[in-house]
Amino acid sequence: MKLFTILYDKVMRWARHPHAGWYLAGLSFAESSFFPVPPDVMLAPMSMARPQRAWRLALLTTLASVAGGALGYLIGWLAFDAIAPFLHDWGYWGAYQQARSWFDAWGFWAIFVAGFSPIPYKVFTITAGVVSMPFLPFVIASFIGRGARFLLVALLMAWGGETMEQRLRRWVDWIGWLTLLTVVIIVAAARY
């Protein structure tokens, strides 16, 4: 069954859409404060589809992500009591507690590491507001961490370019089904 090939082809068509940059910026902004899907899922195919624009796409993603992070900071600073139940309901409470301990231990470096890593960045932006991290260091750490991550993703995909796009298309069904199987095994093992 070629389910993942169909999805891959659709994503690559979307990556070449004239308004794809706006969608990427919107996703990057939303992910930094409340949305669960990381912008890498758009940035990677867009950088493969348009390698000559990879660094600009990385910059756009970074700027929108830092702006969204500022919204997350404001949510934590001004409205944490209102969103705390959602953190419990959506399974982010443990991550929030971990983020608080990281801020206590590392301060500035906690937001930098969260910006670069696949850790849910939104939890750290909200926590930065809760603990009243100074705003300018928050923005600087976010810009450096997020910028490094998105530039790395964009340049690796641009480097692969059309060759990587064709190879990935050839193997995407195997990769997709193996990933799905791995997730099912991990979930089953965690439940039992």
Q: Which residue has the higher pLDDT, 82 or 8?
A: 82
Mean pLDDT within 142-146: 96
Residue 108 domain-assigned (yes or no): yes
Whole-angstrom Cα distance, residue 73 to residue 24?
21
**pLDDT at position 76:** 94
Answer yes or no: is pLDDT of 128 > 90. Answer: yes
Q: Is 144 within the bounds of a domain?
A: yes
- Give the span between the Cα atoms of 62 and 166, in whole angstroms: 27
What value does the mean pLDDT of the chain take? 88
Host domain of residue 104: 13-162
**Does residue 182 lie within any of the structural domains?**
no
Confidence of residue 1 (pLDDT cuts 50, 70, 90): low
Between 64 and 34, the higher pLDDT residue: 64
Tell me the per-residue pLDDT of 100-116, one tens digit each, with 9 for 90 and over: 998 889 888 999 888 88
Does residue 123 lie within any of the structural domains? yes
**76 in a domain, yes or no?**
yes
In a domain, 169, yes or no: no
- Higher-confidence position of 172 and 27: 27
Q: In the chain, what's the furthest Cα-to-Cα distance?
A: 52
Please report which confidence band the pLDDT of residue 85 belongs to, taking 50, 70 and 90 as the band edges.
very high
Contact yes or no for 69/105 (Cβ under 8 A): no
- Whether residue 186 is contained in a domain is answered as no
- When pLDDT is averaged across residues 21-26 and rounded to a whole number, the result is 91
> Which of 13-27, 70-84, 118-132, 169-183 shows the lowest per-residue confidence on average (mean pLDDT)?
169-183
Asked if residue 80 is part of any domain, the answer here is yes
CA nearest 72: which of 118, 21, 115, 117?
Answer: 115
Q: pLDDT at position 10, please?
A: 76
Higher pLDDT: 32 or 118? It is: 32
**What's the structural domain count of the chain?**
1
Residues 62 and 60: their CA atoms lie apart, in Å, by 5
Res 167 pLDDT > 90:
no
User: Comparing 46-50, 107-111, 176-180, which segment has the lowest mean pLDDT?
Assistant: 176-180
Contacts 24+ apart (CB under 8 A), 131-140: 131/100, 131/103, 132/77, 133/73, 133/103, 133/107, 133/108, 135/70, 135/73, 137/107, 137/108, 138/69, 138/73, 138/111, 139/66, 139/69, 139/70
